[in-house]
Amino acid sequence: MAEVYTLHDLISRQVLDAGQDKPARLAVIGWPIAHSASPRMQQAALDAAGIAARYVRLEVMPGQVGEALARMRELGFIGCNVTVPHKFEVMGCCDVVDAAAQTLGAVNTVSFEAGQTRGSNTDGPGFVRAIADEFGVALGELKVLIVGAGGGAGQALAVQCVMEGVKRLALVNRTLEKLSPVLARLRGLAANCEMLGLALEDSALAEACATADLIVNASSVGLKPGDSPVLPAAWLRPGQLVYDCVYQPKPTPLLQQAAARGCRTADGRSMLIHQGALAFQQWFPGSGPLAVMRSALAGPASEA
């Protein structure tokens, strides 16, 4: 199986499935995409369910998402997952976007149904379940700070936090420009939640970090080799919950320094599993892939 497919491979079934015994019917699209562990767990779920299909990585450049979806639909794909940086772009490429995804402001799951491209979002619900699994606490009981809140995943998590009734929500981004419309929308959803927006260089960020119960990295910082931690170690405190949506390398730079400071830490594999299971259940109603997916990502093999 090819590690990564491209738009060119969607030219025909003959090219896409050359040398394979099962057709590619599902994919994860992103830029870059080679790091994604989604195929490992999704393929395991397909195999366990006896579904003769492959789940592949598809590298799609920004601006080409609509063409990629059109080609997948022509080739009889069931659907796809969507990761950075396409969660905004894909919204405009769908014929129908469900109410939850519209509220969350991003799409991470696409289904091709009855000639239509339908967009939904399992990131938010997957995040809620991941926090409960990892830390044994309900998200709504926490004061939350999200780094990278201007991106598709970060915005979806921010909206989910508000929907869960968090006490306080701090949104952090490289610049404040992307946060203004996000904060306006969030305040329209929950006027009683204390909210603030901060740039990474803001002098108030250190205090915001220190007073947060849960710090979430929803940015891509930490994904590339040599990335520095997204926040200084001195801003973290013992006992604090730190969740990095990035899951490779393991542990990420943020989680390494958080653990050294005595924080309770978890990486994005739990969210990946939960959102992936919810997506699988959309494609195959009545299925129960969670245990199989969890097993597939357990241990060193999950880094592949």
The count of C-alpha atoms lying within 13 angstroms of the C-alpha of 98, restricted to the half-sphere facing its C-beta, is 13
Q: Is the dihedral of CA 132, 137, 138, 139 positive or negative?
A: negative
Backbone dihedral region for residue 276 (phi beyond 0: left; psi -120 to 50: alpha; all else: beta): alpha
CB 127, CB 271: distance < 8 Å: yes
The count of C-alpha atoms lying within 13 angstroms of the C-alpha of 39, restricted to the half-sphere facing its C-beta, is 24
- From 51, 62, 59, select the one nearest 80 (Cα to Cα): 59
CB 179, CB 151: distance < 8 Å: no
Amino acid at 259: A
Active site positions, annotated? 87
The count of C-alpha atoms lying within 13 angstroms of the C-alpha of 226, restricted to the half-sphere facing its C-beta, is 0
How far apart (Å, rounded) are the C-alpha atoms in residues 131 and 227?
A: 25
Q: Alpha helices of 238-299 — where are they, by DSSP H?
A: 253-260, 269-283, 290-296
- From 171, 161, 104, select the one nearest 138 (Cα to Cα): 161
Question: The tokens of 153 are what?
Answer: 């995943």
172 Cβ neighbours under 8 A, 6+ residues apart: 145, 146, 147, 148, 149, 197, 198, 199, 200, 205, 208
